[in-house]
Structure 1
Amino acid sequence: MSFAYLAALLVSAAGVLTIDRRFRLFCWRSPGRAVAVLAAGTAFFLAWDLAGIGLGVFFHGAGRYMTGLMLAPELPVEELVFLLFLCELTMVLVLGAQRVLGRAGGAR
């Protein structure tokens, strides 16, 4: 059992949250909305994963960097953390790009 992948996800998420906090892009701009968006996005992708698992498309491959802790058959705990990270990262990138492009467009 190794926590390397889970630790890498958490460190990466902490980095994105630090940028988010510094520029007040998503979670620190509107926490209530951020929680709702993260929950909806994570639920969508989790349903997607569960459908894929049910259809036999997705499966858990044994990895030496994973904890081995499973939320459901073929669904490792790292997948849930990854989906949360993916949603947070996407929102920070989109809102950050909007802010940068908005400033660039206003400068013309």
Structure 2
Amino acid sequence: MPDTTHTPTARPTVVVLCGSTRFWEQLAEAAVYETTAGRIVLAPNCNLRRPHPLWDYPATADRVKRMMDNLHLRKIDMADEVLVVDPGGYIGDSTRREIDYALSLGKPVRYTHPVTEVDRG
């Protein structure tokens, strides 16, 4: 007879990935590393930079972009922390807005490519 007892365990940390979808492959790689570290990963799941029938037309693309931006903020609400995927230290306007939002909620923010004072020159 199978064991039907369930021992509750602590919920793993939930991390949301933020960053430009121009770094789609780096976002996917960060998801692999975070998942294998035992974290639950929330991430962008649509890349509006790549053609798709759901956002083929400009009016549709604008609506989907606004909806995705709002949905990503809700993912930040759900997350315990934020990981910014920022190759070369690049952070665009949308990602900056997401970072500011996360910080306003008191969420810890980590970076895949932190920029130091030495890097700034």
Instruction: Give the TM-score, by structure 2 length.
Output: 0.31
Higher fraction of helix: 1
Instruction: Give the TM-score, by structure 1 length.
Output: 0.33
